[in-house]
Amino acid sequence: MPALPWYHKTSIYQIYPRSFHDSNQDGIGDIQGIIQKLDYIKELGFESIWCSPFFSSPQADFGYDISNYADIAPEYGTMSDALQLIDETHRRGMKIVFDMVMNHTSIEHPWFKESRSSRDNPKVDWYLWRDKPNNWQSVTAGSGWHYAAERKQYYWASFLPFQPDLNYRNPEVKQTMFDIARFWLGKGVDGFRLDIFNYIYKDAEFRDNPFTPGLIPTESNPSGFFQKAQYTLNRPESYELAKELRSVCDEFGEKLLLGEVSGNRNTIRKFMGEEVNDGLTLVFDFGMMDFKFTARYFRDLIEDIERYFPDPFMPVYVFSNHDRARSISRLENDIRKAKLLHLLQLTLRGVPCMYYGEEIGMTNLRLPFAAALDPIPHKFESIPRLVFDMLGMTLNRDEVRTPMQWNGAKNAGFSSAEKTWLPVHPNYEAVNVERESQDKSSLLNTIRAILKIRNSESALRRESLEWIDRLPKSVLGYQRKDGENVIAVLLNFDDKEKEFQLSEGKWTCILGLSRDDHFMDDIVKLNSYGGMILKSAE
Ligand code: GLC
Ligand code: CA
């Protein structure tokens, strides 16, 4: 079997810099703060980190609105801090990917200011300008066309009005963005997470989107607000762009490109290439965010993913991020379920991507919409919150971005400032790194133990995944193989204990999620929501 590229074997830890660790007591997390915590991530067992953006930005969308791609926002640090971060990550044998927001800039970006200033300037068509809007809706609902009095024209913004979309049909724009990628690759970053990559190209003729009865977009169907997003995303030119960006990266060696894309599995897979993986190296598959906590659901999910992402492709397993609910909030805040979910995530055939704080079981913090720093809820202030609660939507992303809980001290050890940028979750005295480090059976130590096995057992980082059949209905079981090295994983999704025989092969149990998970004389006993990793004894 040929060796897998590193980016198909790795495990990714997502850092939201503003909330990770504050090194200079201003209440805002920063790059030096990340550097101080690299040993923690290393020791936890993740091999790569992805940092949400810390480039120059007015922070209207907390860094996803960039005003200079080649500099760092002062509240996070300096260029030299960023270079030190790359260096310190590499010194620990880990990889680091930055967040590239290619689709749009901030309205404050000098390119946009120039483009907006007149109908006759060198950047006149760096953005998408029209005399009249068509019917296109933005991702955040409502028309995405916004009037600029200076030009007496409308510009297009897929996301929020202060995030104007760049025009990639202008070759200068594309080249400039590729050069920005080269700039950071030249500084040593190991790749990029690509923000709303599937939105970059819109229809060249600006044709109206057709009607669809659906109101609310879902993870696997981004159409909504009564229109099919036919001409605003997943355009053929964006698949091509994936390949071009990949060749830019190839100039620098094996680099990771992780696309934030949306659509059904067939659509998102296309970003990686047709027969060979010559596009993005990985894409998020957000469909799984709506998981049901049953063995049947995950069996179907994994089978489907295996169908769409066979070798030489590799899937990504992700259950939360800075835009979506904390995974434990979808598990009735049950630590046993969280352990099981992460045992699955870290042992499947795929690249796991874990959002900071998931490893200690951080939960959403309910905050009033009116005081939100996130711009999204302000768009919907006229709609009662109850509606979103009923739909299970986390509209206010502040709720999933609260400071990392390091210990039981002031501000959970995140910062010693009087006020932190977002409040610390009041559960920090019980849920924090220091406390969970001392408890052998904590979620944190469980994840450490699983990652340790993942990092030392080559079978868990190969292409193979085979089902173990004839198990109780609520139990999911699979094997991973690398030649003689075989690992089996068994997971009980029921709250009742399960006992069954596992006759094929000779096994040793190398991890049990609960104290009562046992394996002896071919008999497996799994506690409620228990789980186990077995290793072939040959
Ligand atoms: C992506 C980011 C999100 C951001 C949006 C606009 O979805 O994950 O945080 O607000 O793009 O850039
Ligand atoms: Ca700071």
Looking at residue 304, its pLDDT comes to 98
**Residue 538 pLDDT level (bands cut at 50, 70, 90):** low
Looking at residue 220, its pLDDT comes to 87
| Interatomic CA distance for residues 444 and 418, integer angstroms | 28
Cβ–Cβ under 8 Å, residues 297 and 287: no
Looking at residue 2, its pLDDT comes to 72
Lowest mean pLDDT among 212-221, 223-232, 330-339, 472-481: 212-221
* 160 Cβ inside 6 Å of ligand 1: no
**Rounded mean pLDDT, 36-60:** 98
Given a cut of 80, whether residue 143 has pLDDT beyond it is yes
* 194 Cβ inside 6 Å of ligand 1: no
Angle at the Cα of 33 (from 31 to 34), degrees rounded to 5?
65
* 373-382 pLDDT, tens digit each: 999 999 999 9
Best residue for ligand 1 mutational test, from 323, 324, 378, 398 (most atoms within 8 Å of Cβ): 323
Task: Judge whether 306 counts as a catalytic residue.
Answer: no
**Rounded mean pLDDT, 66-91:** 98
Question: What does the CA dihedral 247, 252, 254, 259 come to, rounded to 10 degrees?
Answer: -50
* 418-446 pLDDT, tens digit each: 999 999 999 999 999 999 999 999 999 99
Task: Judge whether 114 counts as a catalytic residue.
Answer: no
Angle at the Cα of 185 (from 179 to 187), degrees rounded to 5?
110
* Averaged confidence pLDDT in the chain: 97
Looking at residue 218, its pLDDT comes to 87
**Residue 503 pLDDT level (bands cut at 50, 70, 90):** confident
| Interatomic CA distance for residues 315 and 318, integer angstroms | 10
Q: What separation in Å is there between the alpha carbon of 305 and the centre of ligand 1?
A: 24
Tell me which of 47, 65, 75, 195 is the catalytic residue.
Answer: 195
**Residue 408 pLDDT level (bands cut at 50, 70, 90):** very high
Sheet of 129-130: strand order equals 129-130, 153-156, 145-148
**Rounded mean pLDDT, 283-297:** 97
**Rounded mean pLDDT, 175-199:** 98
| Interatomic CA distance for residues 514 and 339, integer angstroms | 9
SS3 assignment, position 156: strand
H runs (alpha helix) in 317-394: 335-347, 375-379, 385-390
Closest residue by Cα to atom 9, ligand 1, is 323
What tokens appear for 409 in the block?
Answer: 């001290």
pLDDT greater at residue 219 or residue 507: 507
Given a cut of 70, whether residue 1 has pLDDT beyond it is no
Tell me which of 43, 172, 250, 251 is the catalytic residue.
Answer: 251
Q: What separation in Å is there between the alpha carbon of 404 and the centre of ligand 1?
A: 20
Q: Which residues pair with 350 in a beta bridge?
A: none
**Residue 349 pLDDT level (bands cut at 50, 70, 90):** very high
Q: What separation in Å is there between the alpha carbon of 24 and the centre of ligand 2?
A: 5
